[in-house]
Structure 1
Amino acid sequence: MARILVVDDEIGIRELLSEILYDEGHTVELAENAAQARAARLRSRPDLVLLDIWMPDTDGVSLLKEWGSQGLLDMPVIMMSGHATVDTAVEATRIGAVDFLEKPITLQKLLKTIAAGLARPVVTSSLVAAARQPDQRTELTQPLTTTPMPGAPEPVAETNNSLLGSISLDQPLRDARDEFERIYFEYHLGRESHSMTRVSEKTGLERTHLYRKLKQLGIDSSRKKNTST
């Protein structure tokens, strides 16, 4: 499961791509222009970006150059356009895009290109990215466990860590992911008293996508009634 940022000024394209990617198990963030894309990129690095070339404020190629010059192009970017020329596609690839999709985009081509993009390592041309994102990189270098001082109380594990330990790592990735997502959503449903509005805000999923995901996982989203007498 990957976090994918979709940048396109056409609402129909954004909704179509988000539906497809959600159904494939990805987490999707949408941006309708370069300003929203910049804000999303600064909040956290996506695993992959689908970036439209022709946008009203700043075109996709200019945004790609901007990210490259700032050391923020440390994720695979796939350009999209229905009117781009070969020269434009070549320029985008030269700047740092990993591939190019021509609209209308077929489902098979979309999924194949995304899978290839996620599997392809991306190396930035600058060390600025490391300086701009110390939190993400230093977290990976922190020890997972610490040895307490003699006589010190045992560290308290995060809530529900024991539940995550029940997931078998010998099963296929998709099945393990479904188990994790089931635990994840049941946790938030219980914590928010089955308020779909609050669960939607906590998980970052739109309500329609949240309902679909819960149904897919076989989770009852209705409020639990007290049946005790």
Structure 2
Amino acid sequence: MAQILLCEDDKLIARIIGKILDNQKHQIKIVSNGTEAIEELKKDHYDLVITDMIMPGFSGLDVVRFIRRQLRSRCPILLMSGLSDKEFIRKAKKVGTTDFISKPVNIDILKRKVAHLISYSEEIEI
């Protein structure tokens, strides 16, 4: 069972993804913007962060930068976005995103990516 932070400003999407991950026996904390994500990351440890790219306040890339630069964490980060051109993905990887998933999110792909990133998280903690 992994502890996952989900940062998504669309309440319906957050509820659906949260339910899917909860059904897989993960502990899910849902926040609705980058500012809340950063505050939560200061308080608690997460095995995986899933964040939307475009949100009010801090963007998904701002959250990634905070995790990598301020917390100096190697926690896996899955970035979700409707932007999926190669230049954007390259930029996201450059700032420290571990993986990327396009919106609308395919549930089977999400489950596979989460399972892979959770196993990666367990490896880096050893």
Change (3 A) 1:4 1:33: same
Q: TM-score normalised to the size of structure 1?
A: 0.51
Q: Return the offset for 1:88.
A: 1.7
Separation (CA, whole Å) in 2 of partners of 1:74 and 1:113: 17
**Stretch of structure 1 that moved more, 54-63 or 10-19:** 54-63
Q: Is structure 2 residue 111 aligned with structure 1 residue 93?
A: no
| Distance (Å, rounded) in 2 between the aligned partners of 1:63 and 1:27 | 20
- Corresponding residue SS for 2:49: strand
In the alignment, is the contact (CA less than 8 A) between 1:7 and 1:50 conserved in 2?
A: yes
More strand by share: 2
Task: Give the match for residue 44 of structure 2.
Answer: 44
Asked whether 1:116 is paired with 2:108, we answer: no
Higher relative contact order (CA 8 A, sep 6+): 2
> Corresponding residue for 2:32?
32
Describe the SS at the equivalent of 2:68: helix
Instruction: Kindly indicate whether the alpha-carbon contact (under 8 Å) linking 1:53 and 1:84 is maintained by their aligned counterparts in 2.
Output: no
Mark the runs of 5 or more structure 1 residues left unpaired by the alignment.
Answer: 124-229
Q: Write the deviation string for residues 119-155 of structure 1: whole angstroms up to 9, x where unpaired.
A: 22576xxxxxxxxxxxxxxxxxxxxxxxxxxxxxxxx
1:82: how far off? Answer: 1.3
The residue number in structure 2 matching 1:56 is: 56
TM-score, L = length of structure 2: 0.89
> What amino acid is the match of 1:85?
D
The equivalences for 1:216-227 within 5 A come to none
Which amino acid in the other structure matches residue 45 of structure 1? H
Query: How far apart are 1:86 and its partner, in Å?
Result: 2.2
The AA in structure 1 aligned to 2:94 is R
Aligned mates of 1:14, 1:114 — CA distance in 2: 15
RMSD of aligned residue pairs (Cα, Å): 1.6
The residue that corresponds to 1:189 in the other structure is none
Deviation at 1:84, TM superposition (A): 4.2
8 Å CA contact 1:73–1:96 kept in 2: the answer is no
Given residue 86 of structure 1, which amino acid in structure 2 is its aligned partner? Answer: K
1:46-99 CA-to-partner distances (Å, cap 9, x unmatched) read 100101111121111122112222134331000001134321211111222111
Query: What amino acid maps onto 1:30 in structure 2?
Result: I
In 2, the alpha carbon distance for the partners of 1:85 and 1:73 equals 27
Aligned with 1:120: secondary structure? helix
Shift of 1:42: 1.1
Secondary structure of 1:35's counterpart equals helix
